Amino acid sequence: MTDNSRENSGTNSGTHSGTHSAAPLAATLDALRAALGDDAVRVGAEIGERALTDWTRHDPTRPAALLLPRSTEEVSRALAICHAAHQPVVPQGGMTGLAGGAIARATDIALSLERLSGVEEVDAASATLTVRAGTTLQAAQEAAAEAGFELALDLGARGSCQIGGNLATNAGGNRVVQSGTARDQVLGLEVVLANGDVLTSLGKMVKNNTGYDLKHWFIGSEGTLGIITRAVLRLHPRRAARHTALVALDGYDGAVNLLRRLSTRFGNDIGAFEIMWPDFYDFGVKLTGTRSPFADPHPLYALIEHAGFDSGDDGERFAAALTDALDAGAIRDAVIAQSVADARALWAIRECTAEFPVRLDAINFDVSLPIGEIGAFVDRCRAALDRQWPGNVAYFFGHIGDSNLHVTVDGHSLAGVEHHAVYAFVYEMLRPLRGSVSAEHGIGLLKREFLPISRSATELAAMAAIKHALDPHGILNPGKLF
């Protein structure tokens, strides 16, 4: 066994708040082994590659130790020991995050939730699923489906990301336009606080006005306020009739008009409304080896899902709406998937982002702006990037129904340009629009310095006060978010 010594300096930036009176690492690890067992405390080469960095591939760093607790009780014991020792702890879920939030420094202890997994209960009467934090999103979706329900949360990383990570980042994904973000799926939450206290509010009630709704402090807090160990998630009636269409459009205004047109006709049955600008669409088509169903290129593409309950005539009504839009000149062309395989092939184009880390030197943005302003922003952003770095390659796409635009700039096309310069350049464009530097991926490590673009000094001070109240020694995910 090789111990990383505390002298190993972390390569991530960020302050080690509260570690001035830290206990020696070796003593802390001994206490952790005594409390959790040798098998749950890994050091040195025993720590697998998975724990070194997240999906950003940013700054891989071997933490001082990796903890693998099996229960809430063990998480509680671990945090009580680390709190007393002023030892920083970084919660790790599925490591699919896109903000560097789960990357530990060499002096941090990483705590993985992977052993704390499994669905505990599906309560059909309450329409709830009680799940442990380390359960993958896909496993939770499957459990819901087996019981005849649907978990509304869905995103491309579903096979690897965990419910705890989804809640800690308040993940968005493909169905926000219909059912809201991860936050909207939560009825109850269990969290272990920095000092090891277990805050359990695993209620299944929809209404509960008994003071502060504490769960919302932890959802979206990126592991800085507590470690999520269990959750009660809301289930929805299963929308068994899904129909997917790919639509070619004249431009952004046409996309917004189509969204409004379809929402007026189908209300909440529009399950996804994803926009792809041609650079992204062409890249996705090429990467997936599919053939574009359209003979000609178009200025914009929308991937639309109608998700209803009536397998009898939902498909016909959706097709009729698109035919009406075509007749009215609101769209240029459309294809509707005729089978599950067809639908998967269309979704594969949109979900080619899973290949970005492999194919690109990806500089990712997930910004949000008022829906009406996104089209003009894309034009301005593209023109500004071209002026600044002629020859740059950038991809634009997004969950437009939820005001969320993604931009990925390929660093390979920007020889000698630091990623940081590109981040600063694009984020500065949001300032006058009061846009958000993170619609869904969170702040983590990579966007920390840009947070003030989206949050006022008063908001930041309130966040810092909450952080200090819940984690006075600053041991939980230090250097992230703030």
Binding site for ligand FAD (CB under 6 A): 54-55, 90-98, 101-102, 113, 133, 155-157, 161-162, 164-166, 168-169, 171-173, 222-223, 227-228, 353-354, 440-441, 444, 477, 480
Half-sphere exposure of 198 (CA within 13 A, CB side): 13
CB within 8 A of 333, min separation 6: which ones? 247, 248, 294, 298, 326
Q: How far is the CB of 104 from ligand FAD (least distance, A)?
A: 9
DSSP secondary structure code for residue 205 in this structure: -
Element of type H or E holding 461: helix 457-470
In 3-state terms, what secondary structure has residue 359? helix
Q: How far is the CB of 217 from ligand FAD (least distance, A)?
A: 12
Nearer to ligand FAD among residue 371 and residue 443 (C-beta): 443
Q: How far is the CB of 162 from ligand FAD (least distance, A)?
A: 4
DSSP per position, 152-202: --B-TTTTT-BHHHHHHTT--BTTHHHH--GGGGEEEEEEEETTS-EEEE-
Q: What are phi and psi of 307, to 5 degrees?
A: -120, 100
Nearer to ligand FAD among residue 17 and residue 169 (C-beta): 169
Nearer to ligand FAD among residue 441 and residue 447 (C-beta): 441
Could you tell me which of 480, 474, 482, 433 has the C-alpha nearest to residue 16? 474
Q: How far is the CB of 222 from ligand FAD (least distance, A)?
A: 4
Contact 411, 360 (CB under 8 A): yes
What distance in Å separates the CA atoms of residue 343 and residue 323, rounded to the nearest whole number? 19
Nearer to ligand FAD among residue 88 and residue 254 (C-beta): 88
Which stretches of 70-136 are DSSP H helices? 72-85
Nearer to ligand FAD among residue 127 and residue 161 (C-beta): 161
Residue with tokens 């002629």: 390
Identity of the residue numbered 273: F
Q: How far is the CB of 378 from ligand FAD (least distance, A)?
A: 18
What distance in Å separates the CA atoms of residue 402 and residue 427, rounded to the nearest whole number? 19
Q: How far is the CB of 97 from ligand FAD (least distance, A)?
A: 3
Contact 103, 59 (CB under 8 A): yes
Q: How far is the CB of 348 from ligand FAD (least distance, A)?
A: 12
Nearer to ligand FAD among residue 133 and residue 177 (C-beta): 133
Two tokens, residue 400: 């437009």
What distance in Å separates the CA atoms of residue 92 and residue 58, rounded to the nearest whole number? 15
Q: How far is the CB of 143 from ligand FAD (least distance, A)?
A: 17
In 3-state terms, what secondary structure has residue 208? coil
Q: Which residues pair with 123 in a beta bridge?
A: 128
Strand 270-276 relative to strand 226-234, pairing = unpaired
Q: Which residues pair with 249 in a beta bridge?
A: 300
Q: How far is the CB of 432 from ligand FAD (least distance, A)?
A: 25
Q: How many residues does the chain have?
A: 482
Nearer to ligand FAD among residue 223 and residue 401 (C-beta): 223
Contact 93, 134 (CB under 8 A): yes
Nearer to ligand FAD among residue 88 and residue 94 (C-beta): 94
Nearer to ligand FAD among residue 185 and residue 314 (C-beta): 185
Q: How far is the CB of 120 from ligand FAD (least distance, A)?
A: 15
CB within 8 A of 47, min separation 6: which ones? 62, 63, 65, 66, 110
Q: How far is the CB of 173 from ligand FAD (least distance, A)?
A: 4
Nearer to ligand FAD among residue 430 and residue 476 (C-beta): 476
Q: What are phi and psi of 438, to 5 degrees?
A: -145, 110
Q: State which residue has the least CB distance to ligand FAD.
A: 165
Nearer to ligand FAD among residue 218 and residue 318 (C-beta): 218
